[in-house]
Structure 1
Amino acid sequence: MDNKHKEHLELMSHLIKDGQAIVTIEDWEKYAPPAGKASQWKDGRSAKECAQAWTSANMKGRLLPPEIHKTLSTIEGFDQVLTWTAAPEVRQAFDTLGGNTRNCDLEVRGFGRRGKFLLCIEAKADESFGKTLTKQRQSAEHARSENPKSQQLKRLNDLETRFLKGTKFDPDKLYYQLLTASAGALEEAKREEARYCILMIQEFISQQTDANKRQLNHEALNEFLSVLTKAQITVSENTLIGPIALPSHFDDSYPQFYVGLATRRLPGSGPLN
């Protein structure tokens, strides 16, 4: 790509990080690298494949990746996106406790037939959703014993109150990352005065991904949604669930909330979307 062509694409790009247009996957790595840097920037892993999916779609006329469009289309009108911009690696505050907060892999702000929306991408190959609530509580209690000023335990308790109060749940089956991802997305969408908030798990399947680990992620997502909706939920590929009725803490100032699973099969892994 010559410089003149790249300059033109930069002017047209809908991918931007701190004022810097992102056109190529190399731009993404330079201006918005994952927290793990080179250790996470590998073919078949979620960070690099997410960058590849979105830069490729952006260069093809600023379209959404096909699996994202297909998933949105399961809710009437959501696939009719008129305009969008996106930023990788966005910090999303969801409380006032400071310290480490939610890091969104890609935050997409857009406007469609149904109004203003915020789409938050959580990219996964077969990487887990991190710690269960049980293990997170153990870590938080240890942190408090080491440092009485630690806010980890309060953050966990607050999240459980906001999302899980009045529900029956097994802390060994619910994952902390799904709580922080939902909280970060909803608070950011509220700040942006969006009508709709969508948390999208964008899954990348390759010959490198472990089917058992993927299944564990699907079970974790199903358990989370089943607890939230108080119904048995099984999320299939390229499906959007919602609107999800949230606890009373989330009043009318919050947007409608949706959760989806968008699956992209990489070359060599089976039929492509």
Structure 2
Amino acid sequence: MNILLVHAHPEPRSLNGSLKDFAVSRLKGAGHSVQVSDLYAMQWKASLDADDSTQRRPGARFDPSLDSKHAFENGCQSEDIAREQEKLLWADAVILQFPLWWYSMPAILKGWVDRVYAYGFAYGVGEHSDNRWGDRFGEGTLAGKRAMLIVTTGGWESHYGPRGINGPIDDILFPIQHGILFYPGFEVLPPFMVYRTGRTDEDRFAGICDALGQRLDTLFTAEPIPFRPQNAGDYEIPALTLRSDILPGQTGLAVHVADRGEENLPQLHAGQLAA
């Protein structure tokens, strides 16, 4: 199978750099074809701007969405954007690997999403009407592919638990897993988390690699997070609100995940690695 690993850490000798090298080796050893987009090594341009089109009109007002659509539809995207889109189309699975910085992904990775997820490629796809609101949230250009996060953080696992000070890790990662990955069609696997990174010695690193290796071995067989597809009947269209008879009176991010103890809406098991 074809796997794209998008890596976002500035230091090759970091824990993230070592995990990236391990993941590539493990995947190739299993017979997969692997491409790596090492964003810092590539000196990836993070900012979306008018220069992302090779047919920029001098003095014209820049419209991020419409200019992105024009560039995508007319083959005048900058070469780096088109190249990453080709990798996404080539891949059967995509892994985003990054440290959790200020409750989100590093800016360079967010910039990769901003620029590569062009209008007409990752969004603005499909029919928009009173009966259907585009091909997204379970459908879209990247449907049929799998995706997984590998995330490191210095905090303890308890800090990201159901009552932890940082908030539940599944809530923190929801905008990435549901909004960036599920939106254009990916089946999203539970994330692989590494906590208390500052306490990683050789023995603990070996344990982390063992656990990560097991997750990578099941990349194409593990059950994905059961996010609710937008167009399968759970949502009222065009309001895009969950039907009133589903989990009546309950709100929050967890209502958009089906079949996991809906009565009390417990936190998802995130395949977490204990510190």
Q: TM-score scaled by structure 2?
A: 0.34
Report the structure, 1 or 2, having the larger strand content.
1
Q: Determine which structure has more spread, i.e. the larger CA radius of gyration.
A: 2
Report the structure, 1 or 2, having the larger helix content.
1
Q: TM-score scaled by structure 1?
A: 0.34
